[in-house]
Chain A
Amino acid sequence: MELFTNQVLAGIATGAIYACMALAVVMIYQAIDHLNFAQGEMAMFSTFISWQLMQWGIPYWWAFLATLIISFAGGIVIERLLFKPLAKAPVLTNVAGFIALYGIINSVAGLIWDFTIKQYPTPFGSSPFLGSQLISTHQAGMIGVTVLLLIALYLFFQFTRIGLAMRAAAALPESARLVGINTSWMIALGWGMASAIGAIAGILIAPVVFLEPNMMLGVLLYGFAAAVLGGLTSPLGAVIGGFLVGIFENLAGTYIPGVGNELKLPIALALIITVLVFKPAGLLGRPIVKRV
């Protein structure tokens, strides 16, 4: 039983990261109806920026804040330069664009910071949390930050004018434009926020998986799985999906014989396919009805 609780708690902690990643994926999906395959690389790049700032002697939380601002601006720049011109292009062209972006970011990061694995500090420490052996303070911190982030996003979308405008632009772009919302900039804003949220996910997981240019690939896949499970149209669903995928991953690794580390990835992917087949809208997603 102790093993079980232990694994569930560890699962919630890693799930927090998947939840962050899924949130970033959902943000962009809401804005432009595409899955950003380069999301993980954008997060990785942000994490490297924060690491560089700390190397220059800037304290952790200032570096954290600066990274969020840089990532936010970076996300907007990428949208304006590369993806705004593709807004009317077929899905296929967009997917190719995301793959190109993936290649560019990955290789530039490798060139600037090379491919050696780096340690990344945590502000929470790694001692046992509240004297319990089950989770460390860093894991507790990850969960705390994710929950705070979700609450902040909820407040932003429910109670601010600009949050309302973004929701309107995502739900019914044409009607939103008719009531005077600049939908094009709402999309850019969505990219900026997704990029900043991805940066938070990267900074939180870097102490666990260590910092290197390929650190986010596995995390991104689980983020996709979480977003699909929770429903690509629901931020709350994405977070719940993230926690569920984290728990599922850990329990499957512990209790199903033959599922070692090497089969963890196929299991996440089997999960994606199962959800897509049986409940394509996800747990909390809004089903799309098509009209000709």
Chain B
Amino acid sequence: MSAAEEVVTEAPAVEAVPKRAMTLGLGTSLLVLAALVIAPLFVKNFIIFQMTMLLIYGLAVLALNILTGGSGQFSLGQSAFYAVGAYTSAILMEHVGMNYALTLPIAGLICFGFGFLFGQPALRLSGVYLALATFALATAMPQLLKLGFFEHWTGGVQGLVVTKPDAPFGLPMSQDMWLYYFTLVITIGIYIASVNLLRSRSGRAFMAIRDNEIAASAMGVDVALYKTLAFGVSAGVTGVAGGLGAIAVQFVAPDSYTIVLAISLFLGMVVGGVGWLPGSIVGSAFIIFVPNIAEGISKGLSGAVFGVLLFLVIFLVPHGARQVAMVAQHMLGKLKKN
């Protein structure tokens, strides 16, 4: 029996996304940005908090998008990196007394290292196996955080309470609003950096690996290096998101970072459109608001409603928000011509 598999004929792990289709046009980007800047001035504090979470999860989905949409690797374990980032920020703020803004780059760096190291064994895995290994990581993480050995630092099952920062320089805005703008600035920075990363030499190497690993290595791409690098970058961005999340929620505990979070982030990416970076924010909105809507439709059946919605997305718009955006753009183009 032949054990060889034709790589060319099998379905690719991730559909190839052309580089140009990964971002929005300049005009649309500015429009979205303006909406994000102005919106909080007109809404209540709780909604501002939800918008902050929208940006934070958007960052985490973006990180996964770099990994999956960029380099074609799976991860069902993003919650583990998110947890490490959150705990790093919380511990630095509460035990060391560091300024909250300074903890974020440290959280990012630590997660980069963690992701880079985890990427080493992950190198030998592909597709379903990688999904399984990262799934394992996500399931194990809450248990590891509860270990008595780290309890002095992590607070064990109880978790840690984080103080919310005030607006600096006596700016006349609420804590929530300040945190929103702070998050917005970081999100935009990371978004621009990610777009540039995917347009760079490294980004092209990621995509070559995604489309055909063997061909990429034949072209001289260092597959091992770039695969682990993609893991590291993705984990680093997720870590920053985790740190921001800890500051916004003011609390970290092991059970906030279960496999459910990892699955949510994964679904966010699928809904937003794999490999389409602006879709991350749409996906983030899906995972924040749709469970609430599902619960509103039927309390007992929220899981089922969520599942059915997800199937609808898979069958009707398999490319997620990217597909919707493309269709909208196409129709606008037609309208202009008439």
A residues apposed to B, CB below 8 Å = 33-35, 82, 85-86, 88-93, 95-97, 99-104, 106-108, 110-111, 171-172, 221, 224, 228, 262-263, 265-266, 269-270, 272-273, 276-277, 280, 286-292
Contact = CB atoms under 8 A, between A and B. Distances in A.
- Which 3 interchain pairs have the tightest Cβ spacing? A107-B303, A269-B136, A103-B307
B274 to A, nearest CB: 6
B13 A92 contact: yes
B237 interface: no
Given A95-B74, A287-B3, 5 more contacts: A85-B315, A90-B11, A92-B13, A101-B307, A103-B306
A269 B15 contact: no
Interface in B125-146: 125, 127-129, 131-133, 136-137, 139-140, 143-144, 146
B116 to A, nearest CB: 16
A82 B308 CA distance: 11
B124 interface: yes
Contacts of B121: 273, 276-277
Contact of B139 (A35, A99, A106, A221): A221
A224 B132 contact: yes
B74 A265 contact: no
Given A92-B274, A265-B139, A276-B133, A292 B11 contact: no
Interface string B14-26: 1100000000000
25 contacts: A35-B132, A82-B311, A85-B315, A90-B12, A90-B14, A91-B128, A92-B13, A92-B14, A96-B314, A97-B314, A100-B311, A106-B303, A107-B307, A172-B2, A228-B132, A262-B146, A263-B143, A266-B140, A272-B133, A280-B124, A286-B1, A290-B4, A290-B214, A291-B5, A292-B215
A108 B307 CA distance: 11
Interface string B66-94: 00100000101000000000000000000
Contact of B266 (A96, A106, A273, A288): A96
A86 B129 CA distance: 19
Interface of chain A, helix or strand or loop or mixed? helix
Contacts of A110: 300, 303
Contacts of B133: 272-273, 276
A97 B311 CA distance: 6
A99 B310 contact: yes
Given A90-B13, A92-B68, A292-B8, A102 B128 contact: no
B263 interface: yes
A82 B314 CA distance: 10
Contacts of A280: 124-125, 129
A172 B3 CA distance: 9
A209 to B, nearest CB: 17
A47 to B, nearest CB: 18
Contact of B307 (A90, A104, A273, A277): A104
B300 A104 contact: no
Contacts of B318: 89, 93
Contacts, number: 146
A34 B129 CA distance: 10
B175 interface: no
Contacts of B304: 103-104, 107-108, 111
Contact of B144 (A106, A228, A266): A266
Contacts of A290: 4-5, 7, 214
Nearest to A287: B3
A111 B300 contact: yes
A99 B263 CA distance: 8
Given A34-B128, A276-B125, A277-B121, A86 B314 contact: yes
A197 to B, nearest CB: 20
Contacts of B4: 288-291
A175 to B, nearest CB: 9
Given A103-B304, A288-B3, A270 B125 contact: no
Interface string B41-83: 0000000000000000000000000001000001010000000
B324 interface: no
B302 interface: yes
Given A91-B13, A290-B7, A292-B8, A272 B310 contact: no
A35 B131 contact: yes
Contacts of B129: 228, 276, 280
Nearest to B319: A93
Contact of A276 (B5, B74, B124, B143): B124
B85 to A, nearest CB: 20
A110 B302 CA distance: 11
Nearest to B213: A290
Contacts of A108: 301, 304
A108 B303 CA distance: 8
